[in-house]
Structures are given as C-alpha cells and as structure tokens.
A and B are shown apart, each in its own frame.
Chain A
C-alpha cells in the first residue's frame, strides 16, 4: 500500500514537472492576487500590516480552488481514473496520494513564497515565521477537503465556479485560524492556540475529505 502511495505521488510529480507551466501559473496567480490588494486599498504600512495575513490566506484559497479541477480531470479524460478504481489498491490510498501530490505542487510552493509577500506587507520577522507555519499546517486541508470538491464536480458542466461555491465555505475555519495566528502574533498573543486548532482541523479533514472524495469518485464513475 505504501508502495502504491509512493508510486502514485512520484507519477503525479513527474507528470506535473513535464508541464511546469501549470504549476507555475498557480504560484504566479497567488503572487499577483496578493500584490493587487495594496493597489486597491492604498500603501499605508499600518493598514497593510493588519491585513497581510488575511490577504495571503485568501489568495492561497483562491489559488487552491483554481488548481483543484485538474486534480482528477486529466486522469478522468484518458480513462486512467477508471483503471485506478478497479485496481486492487484501496481507493483511499489513491485519493490520499493524489491529494499529497497536489499539496506538494501547490500548497508547499505557496507556503514557501508567502513570507516574501509578508515582507512586502511590512510584517515583522516573528509574524513571518508564524505565517509560514500556518500555511504549512493549513494548506494540506485545502488539498484534502478540496479533493472531495474536485471529485464531486468531476465531469460536471461549468465545474470551476461550482467547485468554488462548494469548497470555499468549508475553508472558513482554515482562514479564521490561519490568519488569526498571524494577527494574534502582531498584537502580542502567543499564536500556538490558533496553530493547534488549525492542526486539529487538519486531522478532522484528513478523515472527512478523502472519504468523501472516494465516495464521490465512485458516484462519478458509476
């Protein structure tokens, strides 16, 4: 099972690296969205510092929603997904490995880029570290719950906007605790409570997300 997991993760990474554009586009989208906010609200440093965490997190949510439709679409189009469904490996392992690969290709690069955006927003050093930590804990939730949304909208007409409508409300706790951790650091409160709650939500969604994605894939390919 572990072998199958590692194999699919490697396969996904190899496929993605052959089309680097797709991965880079999501990252560039994330940076562009985050850079537009100061143009909209003005360059006042105090205000920017206060909204930095929220802006980074919302840009990350949008980037995740943008990248999620591709999670199953290509494998669905060429029939690979059906072969995966009838293979002796548990579907849960396949979904988990695809979600892991999605995180490695989107969540991780976003998290590593975020401190750079934080610098543009004049965040102090300790807040930059908390921002990175909150994204490292929180972005896997986007891949896990998002895999359920991607499976539910698989092959559905106009799936992109629908996917956003389905998963964005479910991402509310990630946004609250993720941005809350950074904001509390700024006003001198220890962010560990927020980060722990974020971790708890990660645990819950690693239980719900893949289960729902498996059920939805079976429905979609019935």
Chain B
C-alpha cells in the first residue's frame, strides 16, 4: 500500500494523477460553496446585534482558518522536501503559498469590511488582525525568496528553511502581539463577544470552510501541474506529452 502511494512521489507519476483529481475537487468546491452561500444568505437568521453585516463571517472565518492551516501544510511539505530530498515536496510548497497568501489577504480584507459597520473602523490594532498581517508578510517573504533564487533546487531548500523558521515563530508572534495589545489598549472591541451561534450559521460556516478546503486542494494541484511542466520541460516524458497533444 505504502509503496503504491509512494510511486506518486515522482513528478512524472503525480502529473496525470493531479490532472484527474483537479476536476473532482473543483466540482466539490463549487457545489459546497453554492450550498454554503444558500445557507448563509437564505437560511441563516439575521443577527440581533450586528444585523446583516455579520454574514461576512461566512467568507471571513473560513479564509482565516485556511490562511493559518495552509502555512502549516506548506511548511510541512517544505520540511519533507528538506529531510527526504524529494523533488515534488518543494513544488507542492510553492504551489500552496499563493493560495495561502490569497486567503490571508481575503481574511484581512473581509475583516476590514466587517469592522467598518461593527467597530466603526476599517482597521484596529487587534491582536488577531496584527498577527494575521504578519502572517501575510511571512507568506510574501516565502514567495519572494523562492522567486529570487533562479536555481529551483536551491530555491526549494532555502524556502523550506525559511518556512520552518516561520512556523516556529508564528505562535511566538501571535503571543507577543496579544501581550502588546493588552498593554496598549483595553479590549474595548473583541471578536469573541459575538452571541452564541445559531445552528444554521454554524452549518453555513462549515460548508464554506469545506468549500475553501476543496478550492485550496484544486488550485494547489493545478498549480503544481504547471510547476512540474515548467521544471521538467527538458524531460523525455514532457516532450512526449507535448507531441501527443
């Protein structure tokens, strides 16, 4: 079983498998997002404190979850590549990074749009907002470092070291920012003050979170296909693909 799975560790074997999987995950992502949006806009009740503006959490919370989770997944792939010297791992971490950065940005942006009617400001230096912003910087640093090094093997290893250092630092940064926040300003606004959630709200949020998962897998797989083709462009099997197409 393990050896049958491991045969997909070579880019050549993984390329067609990823090609087969992408449509499935895309369809799942679309279906789940439609169901989630249906629940979010038509089933979930209006919040008695925040009115209709709370509905942005159906985008915001899944995006924030994915932004943190994808960083760990990316660092995991990067570490695997560093430890086992597998080519595909580095490509996977490169493929995940833009999706993670996108979700971080969406979480910040949707949070700002929610904060304006609720807190009266697009941006407050809340601990979560600030650490999410630092997370975006970490993603951008990872992408920038990888794109600055022309040799892909070296880029993968350097990126992996950076991702591992980052993943150790993320909890420390979050903790320090929280500490800083309580020193500088009282917790006049808090994300946790929201009333306990209705079942329909939770359902909508979970559906949207699952949709975000499927979307992330689909985009990472289709992006890794492009990276494989780009890096293996001189390999025999890619040439044969090209002549067959």
Chain A interface (Cβ within 8 Å of chain B)? 145, 148, 152-153, 156-159, 162, 165-166, 168-170, 172-173, 176-177, 180, 183-184, 197, 201, 204, 208, 212, 215-216, 219-220, 222
Do the beta carbons of B157 and A176 come within 8 Å of each other? no
Specify which of A158, A201, A216, A220 is in contact with B148 (CB 8 Å cutoff): A158
14 example contacts (A-B, Cβ-Cβ < 8 A) are as follows: A148-B161, A156-B149, A157-B148, A162-B145, A165-B141, A165-B144, A169-B173, A170-B173, A172-B177, A173-B173, A180-B180, A212-B162, A215-B157, A215-B161
Main secondary structure of the interface of B (DSSP, over half): helix
Chain B interface (Cβ within 8 Å of chain A)? 82, 134, 137-138, 140-141, 144-145, 148-149, 154, 157-158, 161-162, 164-166, 168-169, 172-173, 175-177, 179-180, 183-184
Give chain B residues whose Cβ lies under 8 Å from the Cβ of A176: 176-177, 179-180
Do the beta carbons of B157 and A219 come within 8 Å of each other? yes
Give chain B residues whose Cβ lies under 8 Å from the Cβ of A184: 183
Complex Cα distance, B168 from A164, in Å, reads 19
B61 CB to nearest A CB, Å: 24
How many residue pairs link A and B with beta carbons under 8 A? The number is: 83
The 4 A-B pairs with the shortest beta carbon distances in the complex, nearest first, are A173-B176, A169-B137, A176-B180, A219-B157
Q: Considering the complex, give the chain B residue whose CB is closest to the CB of A215.
A: B161
Do the beta carbons of B165 and A162 come within 8 Å of each other? no
Give chain A residues whose Cβ lies under 8 Å from the Cβ of B158: 152, 216, 219-220
Complex Cα distance, B138 from A184, in Å, reads 29
Q: Considering the complex, give the chain B residue whose CB is closest to the CB of A155.
A: B149
Do the beta carbons of A172 and B162 come within 8 Å of each other? no
Give chain B residues whose Cβ lies under 8 Å from the Cβ of A222: 154
Do the beta carbons of B177 and A208 come within 8 Å of each other? no
